[in-house]
């Protein structure tokens, strides 16, 4: 009674609503900047069971916005660290920490026994998979995304309003849209948007208010403005439309491997003058840390025309951790680049770990 007294005073909540929260099961996919306020407020509200899915570990650069964690958590798994925080904040909440990547092989099993799902991810592959999973299971999906100084939030609920694919039918190719690690983000913005997600989740559990169904809430922190965009279901949507073509989750198919070099191998090539290295990160990232022997092309600019003809050296592309450079190598191979080419495995972070520990990390 004392812990939840402020809830019990609300006519829309009361004892019945608090018991509904205690019986609720919420799946949170991602344990980063958005998840920090989501998990904190849902646990504080007394949501009985939280499942947190994330296979990543806490890094020092996370602490600027991922306020669940402290410096002492650096190196720990995010899901496990989140469970430990909740245990201290509200021991009555059961937290299942799933140290796995949310993928088509485990999506249905992870989501099936929950009342709703919160999308706290930072990549398009998982967002589309989460949407399709929730449509197939008939679950509402509480979504938010952030970039630099702005954020967006909505509730996707097929049957009552649009799903994510209705509004964003075409998934951007890998590397086309910069992540927070590439473009940056004001630390408070995911806090604001995650708090909105928590509020929407509580409203859905209680069945009160007007959830963000059929609306996208848009926040601009620079102007400190809010806008609401109406959105509608697409009758031709491939997953929730009248004649869906997506009726099951795709089987996981491994992409063809990209040629890679590890940092020591690149060091040896550089020593013999046999490597040409292109940094495909943004200029802002290079201002934080860069390698003196690199050229620079943003990932979206990489192509045979910009790179030029092979000169006998191995062309090595690198980014922060290897994902963008791998995609850029695929682009070159697809366009017919006929010289030796590879992605630096682990990117500049691996170079700092294995070759030059004095380099700053971000």
Catalytically active residues are 180, 319
Exposure on the CB side of residue 288, measured as CA atoms within 13 A = 16
Written as one string, the DSSP assignment of 23-81 is H-EEEEE--STTHHHHHHHHHHHT-SEEEEE---B--GGGGGT-TT--GGGTTSBHHHH
Q: Are 156 and 162 in contact (CB under 8 A)?
A: yes
Rounded Cα–Cα distance for residues 175 and 326 (Å): 10
Rounded Cα–Cα distance for residues 20 and 16 (Å): 6
Chain CA centroid to CA 22, Å? 28
Chain CA centroid to CA 275, Å? 33
Q: Are 161 and 229 in contact (CB under 8 A)?
A: no
- Helix axis angle, 263-271 to 347-354, nearest 10°: 80
Rounded Cα–Cα distance for residues 93 and 10 (Å): 21
Which residues, 6 or more positions from 351, have their beta carbon under 8 angstroms from its beta carbon?
A: 263, 266, 291, 318, 344, 359
Written as one string, the DSSP assignment of 175-195 is TSS--HHHH-B-THHHHHHHH
Q: Are 142 and 163 in contact (CB under 8 A)?
A: no
């Amino acid at each position: 009674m004392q812990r939840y007294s402020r809830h019990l005073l609300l006519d829309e909540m009361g004892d019945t609503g608090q018991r509904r929260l205690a019986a609720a099961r919420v799946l949170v996919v991602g344990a980063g900047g958005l998840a920090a306020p989501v998990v904190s407020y849902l646990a504080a509200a007394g949501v009985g069971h939280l499942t947190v899915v994330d296979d990543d570990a806490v890094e020092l650069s996370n602490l600027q916005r991922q306020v669940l964690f402290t410096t002492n958590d650096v190196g720990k798994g995010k899901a496990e660290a989140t469970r430990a925080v909740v245990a201290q904040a509200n021991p009555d909440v059961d937290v299942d920490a799933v140290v796995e990547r949310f993928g088509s092989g485990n999506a249905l099993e992870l989501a099936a026994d929950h009342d709703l799902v919160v999308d706290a991810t930072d990549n398009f592959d998982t967002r589309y998979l989460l949407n399709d999973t929730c449509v197939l299971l008939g679950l509402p999906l509480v979504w938010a995304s952030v970039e630099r100084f702005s954020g967006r939030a909505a509730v996707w609920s097929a049957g009552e309003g649009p799903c994510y694919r209705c509004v964003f039918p075409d998934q951007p190719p890998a590397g086309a849209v910069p992540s927070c690690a590439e473009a940056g983000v004001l630390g408070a913005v995911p806090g604001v948007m995650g708090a909105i997600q928590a509020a929407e989740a509580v409203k859905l559990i209680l069945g009160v208010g007007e959830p963000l169904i059929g609306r996208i809430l848009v926040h601009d922190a620079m102007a400190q403005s809010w806008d609401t965009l109406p959105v509608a279901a697409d009758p031709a949507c491939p997953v929730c439309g009248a004649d869906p073509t997506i009726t099951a989750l795709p089987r996981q198919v491994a992409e063809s491997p990209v040629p890679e070099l590890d940092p020591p191998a690149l060091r040896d090539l550089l020593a013999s003058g046999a490597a040409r290295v292109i940094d495909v990160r943004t200029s802002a990232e290079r201002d934080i840390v860069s390698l003196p022997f690199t050229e620079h092309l943003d990932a979206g600019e990489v192509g045979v025309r910009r790179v030029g003809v092979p000169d006998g050296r191995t062309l090595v592309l690198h980014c922060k951790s290897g994902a963008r450079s791998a995609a850029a190598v695929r682009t070159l191979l697809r366009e017919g680049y006929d010289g030796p080419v590879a992605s630096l495995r682990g990117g500049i972070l691996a170079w700092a770990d294995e070759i030059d520990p004095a380099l700053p990390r971000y």
